[in-house]
Structure 1
Amino acid sequence: MLTRLRNALSAALIALSCLLVPFGALAAWVTYGLADTGRYVTAMAPLAADPAVQGAVADTVGAGIMHEVAPRLDDALGARDDSGTVRPFVYDAVRSFTRTEAFHAAWETANRTVHDAVLSALRDGHEGTVTVDIAPVTAQVKHQLAADNVPLAQNIPVEHTEVPVLPAHELDRLRKGYHVLEVAGFWLPVSAAVLAATGITVAACRRRAITATALGTSLGGAFLLLALAIGRRLTLADLPEAAHRPAAGAVYDALTQTLRTVSWLLIALGLTTALACRLTDLLARRLRASATPTADPAPEPTRARV
């Protein structure tokens, strides 16, 4: 009876521990990976050379510049032609700029600025839309247009142009979720480890308990990989512009690279541990079998001679 009770308690603790593994990994990734500015910038840095990201940045920045300078250019031209004279040159200049080393530096600076702005809004209770200034990029584009002798390039004003990166109506919801993840990022992994250790300790057969914990950890890693794949599909499906989906997919993959690596490590570690436990069990059985002395055959009864 006591053995059954111990096994039942062990199974419950191990199952709960394995259930917490993917959620703990996700919370720890957000707290110690995604919320760290240095790690975020490092993860995003290679995307500066991605053609899809370069195209999306060129379209966004070009549209922002034209929105600010179109009225002034129309006044300079003396008539309104929707800035058709300069628009192609602006977009070409921005696309050309995205292929330079200066853009790589600007990309890193912009990502650091955006991350700091969003993180400060989440932590400090900032109200209102989170924005970033694209004036440095506008200055680079103006310089390149002037170097290419584009008409009226000098009339492009380099002013502080705030581009929204996080709507105000989403801040409160994200702030609550972020604070929850900050707490969960530490306590969920610790709780999973404590529950697993307790479940193994109280088990009647610890080797089986370790095997079950290892297999459950592998399942947790596989579940996390599946969740990332589903999240990627849903994220891209919600984008209003299909043309920017390749860029969004590249950003999603870059941000979740660490989490995917952790998932594969959980799967590999769990399967390796389970296999090691199985091999150890088989070896122990063989050693016990070889150590057991074989009984001598009973002597045949002698027949009395008549």
Structure 2
Amino acid sequence: MRSLFSTVLIVLVALLTPLSALAVWADREIGDTDGYVSAMAPLASNSAMENAVADRITDEVMKQVGSAPAQDGLQDLVHDAVLSFATTDAYRTAWNTVNQAAHTAVEKALTSRNGDTASIDLAPVLEQLKAQLSADGVPYAHQIPVGDARITVLESDKLGAAREVFDALQVAGIWLPLTALLLAALALLLAPQRLPALALALAAGGLLLLLTVALTRGLTLDDLPAGVNRPAANAAFDALTSTLRVTSWWLMGVGVVTAALALRHRRRRALVPATA
């Protein structure tokens, strides 16, 4: 009976492991502004995102230039200027600023039914760029708009029930992983010899987490609207879920190694009486 109860607990640990990782992620990264900004910060140097920002800002500038002669060469000039600006500390600071403002909208798009689109308002970037280009004497720099210039990084109406699950996990927060740890400890207390099975359950949980991220990525990104920059959306999703992918590999690695070491130790102990 103890062994059967331990087996049930081990299965529950395997199921709760990916949910626990998702709960911590939803609470501490998606649900927390600082965690979200930290996750998105590497995108400041991502080439796909840099080009998406440059394209969007260039389009806004060209809308303000009415005459054909003024447009000659200006489009490439502005685009190159934005890409050059993207290598500066000022751009990285502005990037973090826009993501602080975008956090609420992105959280809603990923974890609830309150929005299908997650976008970033580039106004702080535009303001910094306008000041730099004006100081450099670039023609028409004063015409750069510093209004609402948004770039969509995520848009999907196919998340469905997954959004409700993520919303519930965000509420669960740290209590779900604590429950999983308690069940794992109880399983070992009932049947200490089941350590290899428990370790493999941990690895299975990591695999389930990796598959969940991959499935959600497909649902979110495979059918993006025509107006969304696909490389930028891919980069944004991967940045937001980077912690989950790293966690899944750690769970699989630690689980497999622990199981192998436990089995090796068991075999060595079994051989001791035979060689005595």
- 1:194-252: CA deviations, max 9, x gaps? 2222233333xx21x21111111111112222332333344332223498333333323
- Output the CA distance in 1 between the equivalents of 2:265 and 2:118: 57
Shift of 1:40: 2.6
| TM-score, length of structure 2 as denominator length | 0.78
CA contact (8 A) 2:126 2:145 kept: yes
**3-state DSSP class of the match of 1:99?**
coil
Shift of 1:30: 1.7
- Give the partner amino acid of 2:51: G
Alignment of 1:178-217 (within 5 A): 179-203=167-191, 206-207=192-193, 209-217=194-202
CA contact (8 A) 1:62 1:90 kept: yes
- 1:251-306: CA deviations, max 9, x gaps? 23322222222112211221122122212221222223345xxxxxxxxxxxxxxx
CA contact (8 A) 1:65 1:138 kept: no
Aligned to 1:302: none
Aligned to 1:239: 224
Shift of 1:18: 1.2
CA contact (8 A) 1:22 1:224 kept: yes
- Output the CA distance in 1 between the equivalents of 2:197 and 2:255: 9
Shift of 1:55: 0.2
**3-state DSSP class of the match of 2:173?**
helix
CA contact (8 A) 1:90 1:141 kept: no
- Give the partner amino acid of 1:224: L
**3-state DSSP class of the match of 1:238?**
coil
Shift of 1:158: 4.8
- Output the CA distance in 2 between the equivalents of 1:231 and 1:244: 18
Aligned to 1:54: 50
Listed as ranges, the gaps of 5+ residues in structure 2 are none
- Length, aligned pairs only: 271
Whether 1:25 and 2:48 are equivalent positions in the alignment is: no
Aligned to 2:256: 271
- Output the CA distance in 1 between the equivalents of 2:110 and 2:245: 25
CA 56–241 in structure 1, closer or farther in 2 if over 3 Å, else same: farther
Aligned to 1:295: none
CA contact (8 A) 2:52 2:229 kept: yes
- Output the CA distance in 2 between the equivalents of 1:15 and 1:29: 22
**3-state DSSP class of the match of 2:225?**
coil
Aligned to 2:150: 163
| TM-score, length of structure 1 as denominator length | 0.71
- Please provide the CA RMSD for this pair: 3.8
Shift of 1:97: 2.6
CA 221–157 in structure 1, closer or farther in 2 if over 3 Å, else same: closer
- Output the CA distance in 1 between the equivalents of 2:176 and 2:69: 56
Aligned to 1:98: 86
CA contact (8 A) 2:18 2:209 kept: yes
**Aligned counterpart in structure 1 of residue 6 of structure 2, from 10, 16, 35:** 10
CA contact (8 A) 2:102 2:121 kept: no
- Give the partner amino acid of 1:244: N
CA contact (8 A) 1:222 1:267 kept: yes
CA 238–273 in structure 1, closer or farther in 2 if over 3 Å, else same: same
Larger Rg: 1
- Output the CA distance in 1 between the equivalents of 2:69 and 2:173: 51
Aligned to 2:269: 284
Aligned to 1:37: 33
